[in-house]
Amino acid sequence: MDQEQDAGAQGSSRGVASPSSTMIEISPTLHLEESEIQLDFIRASGPGGQNVNKVSTAVQLRFDLLHSPSLDPDVKERLSKLAGSRLTAEGVLVIEAKRFRTQEKNRINALARLVSLIQQALVPPKVRRKTRPTRTSSAARVDSKVRRGVVKRTRKYKPEEWE
């Protein structure tokens, strides 16, 4: 009996992870806490035979984008644009992973997709600088328009030329 209690005590101490293991690294400067992510296991459609109706292998990852303390507001804005229809009205990013036949692979796949999306959002877009067309390109454009007009004029039907 004492051994079972000791084993239970050891199991509970193992359940408490160190701060570094509960963090998901997005970039060297950005980490997400695992507590910000909610994973639900649901039944998947597709291949799996009889097993597909019994085991919940698909993963639905939910990340509360609007209330995340880890991300800057500009990154949140870019991520919400990248997420598109995967973002709910409440600002929760939902990623479904059902590509694999095991929970663990689907969980890893969902987390990898989230990390990839956030990494894309971390890159600020290039600032567009206004430029004017060169004189040569403007002249070439006008010249091609004139040539095209000449071609069209030759196609014009003039009844007096036919008599």
Choose the most confident range, by mean pLDDT, from 21-30, 67-76, 144-153: 144-153
Q: What is the pLDDT of residues 120-149, one digit of tens each?
A: 888 888 899 999 999 999 999 999 999 999
- What mean pLDDT is predicted for residues 66-73? 80
Please indicate, yes or no, if residue 43 is contained in any of the structural domains.
Answer: yes
- The alpha carbon dihedral of 153, 155, 157, 162 has a sign of positive
CATH number where 82 lies = 3.30.160.20
Name the 3-class secondary structure at 2.
helix
pLDDT at position 143: 96
Angle between helices 103-122 and 73-83 (to 10 degrees): 120
Please indicate, yes or no, if residue 96 is contained in any of the structural domains.
Answer: yes
By residue range, what is the domain housing residue 75?
Answer: 22-122
| CA distances from residue 41 to 4, 36, 50, 110 in whole angstroms, order as listed | 30, 17, 18, 11
Confidence of residue 51 (pLDDT cuts 50, 70, 90): low
Which of 96, 115, 118 minimizes the C-alpha distance to 107?
A: 96
Q: Residue 104, exposed/middle/buried by CB under 10 A (0-12, 13-18, 19+)?
A: exposed
Provide the domain count of the chain.
1
Please indicate, yes or no, if residue 139 is contained in any of the structural domains.
Answer: no
pLDDT at position 142: 96
pLDDT at position 48: 62
Please indicate, yes or no, if residue 27 is contained in any of the structural domains.
Answer: yes
Please indicate, yes or no, if residue 72 is contained in any of the structural domains.
Answer: yes
Choose the most confident range, by mean pLDDT, from 22-26, 29-33, 108-112: 108-112
Please indicate, yes or no, if residue 111 is contained in any of the structural domains.
Answer: yes
- Report percent pLDDT > 70 for the chain: 80
Confidence of residue 17 (pLDDT cuts 50, 70, 90): very low
Please indicate, yes or no, if residue 94 is contained in any of the structural domains.
Answer: yes
Please indicate, yes or no, if residue 7 is contained in any of the structural domains.
Answer: no
- What mean pLDDT is predicted for residues 13-17? 34
